[in-house]
Structure 1
Amino acid sequence: MNRPVLLRRLYADKSAASAVEFALVVPVMILFLLGIIDVGRFIWNTNEVEKAVQIGTRWAVATDIIPGDDNANGLKNYSYAINGGVPQGQVVPKSPVSGSSAFPGVVCTSTNAGAVTCTCKASCPFTTATTGDSFDTLVGRMNQIYAGIAPQNVQVDYDWSGLGYSGDPNGSDVDPLVTVTVKDVAFRPIFLAGIFNFGLPDLSYTLTMEDGEGSFSN
């Protein structure tokens, strides 16, 4: 049999066509399937983080105030009436008025080594040094909802709300707006064998401070 005849028969032979087509289509189908799974995981994890932020904020307003912890000169115990020049019974201002002290707001963050730092957004009269574990306890509560939240992913802001009054004998002189933000949480997709590491969206939630003391929140 001459060569042209062999070539014509080989060209006309379709016996392995299905196997070749299957080999070409399967990788695309697998990648498509993994992509669908990753979209579902991304949405699920985002919802978990959102719930963790809500639970964390509830925890933050119902348990110990973080800036200053239980320090006698910390935010929780500082008296604007005695030490801050704000007449008892009046709302603590956001900015100093007639030489009186004010509450400009505080932001608390942590490093991956666990060091917690609280910084006033302007000059404030109380200490912000954190000596307790209130921040770590907050992160631990959030981890019960989503374990991928690390201390460095969490930021807690205390902002002026106009609530509370100077000389309050039953708690902090200010009842700030407390905002818990979770940011830079990693998300590693299955797609492309996890080569790329995408981040979940930054999420935050705000509530008004309640008693600001205690160690548990429902």
Structure 2
Amino acid sequence: MVRDRSLRRFLDDEVGISLTEALISFPIVVLIFAVFVEFGFLMFQWNQTVKALQYGARLAAVSDPVATGFNPTAIAESGPGGTAIPAGASFTCGPGLAGCDVAALNRIVEGAGGRPGMRDLNWRIAPEKVVVVYELSGLGYYGRPRGAVATIRLEVRGVTFDLPFVGSLLGLDQIEVPAHPVTITTEDLRTCSSC
């Protein structure tokens, strides 16, 4: 009977319930807070990548062509003067540096001569992860002094987000940054770095 009363008293006792509830809910609250913080960091990294691509597209527009097969001056001189250069032909550099002038691509990604590159905006971007596509836009004409007008598209492939806490905890540490291509036209820009 004494034993039955002490067991009943123990079961009816509510001392420490608040502490138990707090110990159960605290890890969940911390995890939710960490997810919010890392989601903000993920958005920051995505924005950082897009800004690096915009900067790289601008550098590609005013630099020597990165794709080895693209020569805007030769294209502009290859037809009857004054007629429109047809749109559609494209020249690709990447992924993995295929079809690239590696030195020109390194100037855009790494920077050169005191000028920053894409990597200064996002350290995860490497030359072998950048894809550059030059596409004839149909805006130029044969005989144009500065060569054919092209549209330059840059994108990254294989760059992953850095999620230090939630990424390793939940196995989400290999999520790739979306390609998010950035495009710029070379119409009013000089496409050579030494002119």
TM-score band by shorter chain is 0.7 to 0.9
Q: SS in structure 1 opposite 2:121?
A: coil
Tell me the CA shift for residue 192 of structure 1.
5.6
What residue is the counterpart of 1:117 in the other structure?
98
What do the CA deviations read for 1:138-162 (whole angstroms, capped 9, x no partner)?
A: 2221111111222233211111112
1:56-95 → structure 2 map (5 Å cutoff)? 56-68=56-68, 75-78=71-74, 81=77, 84=78, 86-94=79-87
In structure 1, the partner of 2:135 is: 159
Q: Conserved in 2, the CA contact under 8 Å of 1:52 and 1:145?
A: yes
What CA RMSD, in Å, does the superposition of the two structures yield over aligned residues?
A: 2.4
Contact 1:184–1:201 under 8 Å retained in 2: no
Shift of the 17–201 alpha-carbon distance from structure 1 to 2, 3 Å rule, reads same
CA distance in 2, matches of 1:22, 1:90: 77
CA distance in 2, matches of 1:132, 1:156: 12
Gaps of 5+ in 1: 95-102, 119-129
The superposition leaves residues 103-150 of structure 1 with CA deviations (integer Å, 9 ceiling, x where unpaired) of 711111142xxxx222xxxxxxxxxxx445111222221111111222
Q: Does 1:193 pair with 2:178?
A: no
Match of 2:91 among 89, 99, 106: 106
Percent sequence identity is 24
Q: TM-score, normalised by structure 1?
A: 0.74
Partner of 1:180: 154
- Relative to total residues, which structure has the larger helix share, 1 or 2? 2
- After superposition, the Cα gap between the structure-2 partners of 1:110 and 1:200, relative to the gap in structure 1 and judged at 3 Å, is closer
Query: Paired residues, what number?
Result: 183
> CA–CA distance in 2 between the matches of 1:93 and 1:155?
23
8 A Cα contact 2:86 2:137, kept in partner: no
* Ranges of 4+ aligned residues in structure 1 off by more than 4 Å: none
Per the alignment, residue 180 of structure 2 pairs with 203
Which residue in the other structure is 2:118 paired with? 142
- Secondary structure class of the residue paired with 2:182: strand
- Pair 107,24 (structure 1): closer, same or farther in 2 beyond 3 Å: same
TM-score, normalised on structure 2?
Answer: 0.81
1:97 aligned partner: none
Q: Cα offset for 1:33? A: 0.7
In structure 1, what is the Cα distance between the partners aligned to 2:95 and 2:177? 19
